[in-house]
Amino acid sequence: MRRAIPAQWFNLGMHLFSMVFGLFGLILVLPNSSFIESLSEAGLQVFSWGMQNGGASYMIFGAIAAFLYGKQTIGLKRTLAFCIPAIGISVTSELLGTSTGFPFGAYSYLSGLGYKIADLVPFTIPLSWFYMGFSSFLISATIMRFGTGWGQRIVAIALGALMLTSWDFVLDPAMSQTPYPFWEWHQAGEFYGMPYQNFVGWFGTGSVFMTVASLIWGKNNQPILNRQQILFPTIMYAGNFLFALILSFNAGFYVPAFLGILVGALPLAVLYLTTPNGELVSTNIELLAVETPKVETIATR
């Protein structure tokens, strides 16, 4: 008998598996030259392919998973209303950042994350802004689900942007200041090699595309999820956060790791404790009437 795995969960599983493979390579294999030398020719080819393409693959899987989840849970229009601004605004910020130093500071990407747009920004980077921004905002909007006014929406946007930025607190030092970096800074950074400007840029970029999406959704169409529905973005956020946390602890960057836990992991705990089970709680009856599209599936034995 064949069981069907919903496509968004299959892609999320591949996303998480790719991150585990990356951790294995970065922490255990690359520093151990004797292990690499002991690999067979086939094993060496597999490992080499994984190291060259694993970084891009895990972000592609993540973006596909988030898009399929959004399409099924809040509808295609709302998902596109978040996806398009998130990708468009983040790639604009990244291109500005790598060419002018605004808004993040002076930096450049190295190899390992896929083809570079304008030879500056890997095409996978805006995909990661989308799926992590989407997860962060759905979590924050659900935490701040009481009320429909602008005050509640502003707080939800600020919390979502802060959760997104907290991921960078943990990830950036480990990905730029280690023996195997994926990007590098061209200015002296005050915070573990990173300028404080970087965090302002992250918070600002996230806030802008979350605000645009919220405005497109409309005052009375903000998606508020129950505990079952919020499980997917929670796993997405927690998996990426844990990946960054392990890299930071392994590199000895304890302060950024604990700072990330404070402003990133704690909201997840609040979410779990406060989000009700049962039917979807929505600020608009129309959200309850969103037709559930047919679930795309991947068949397994």
Give the pLDDT confidence score for residue 53 in this predicted structure.
74
Taking the C-alpha atoms of 164, 18, 248 and 93 in order, what is their torsion angle to the nearest 10 degrees?
-40
Choose among 45, 197, 70, 60: nearest CA to 122: 60
* Domain of 173, in residue numbers: 3-300
Tens of pLDDT, residues 122-148 = 999 999 999 999 999 999 988 887 666
Give the pLDDT confidence score for residue 286 in this predicted structure.
40
Give the pLDDT confidence score for residue 146 in this predicted structure.
66
Across the chain, where does the E strand assignment appear? 3-6, 107-109, 116-117, 121-122, 183-185, 297-300
The number of distinct structural domains making up the chain is 1
Could you tell me the two tokens for 9?
Answer: 């969960």
Residues in the chain where the model's pLDDT stays below 50: 1, 279-301
Give the pLDDT confidence score for residue 108 in this predicted structure.
96
pTM of this structure: 0.87
Give the pLDDT confidence score for residue 180 in this predicted structure.
80
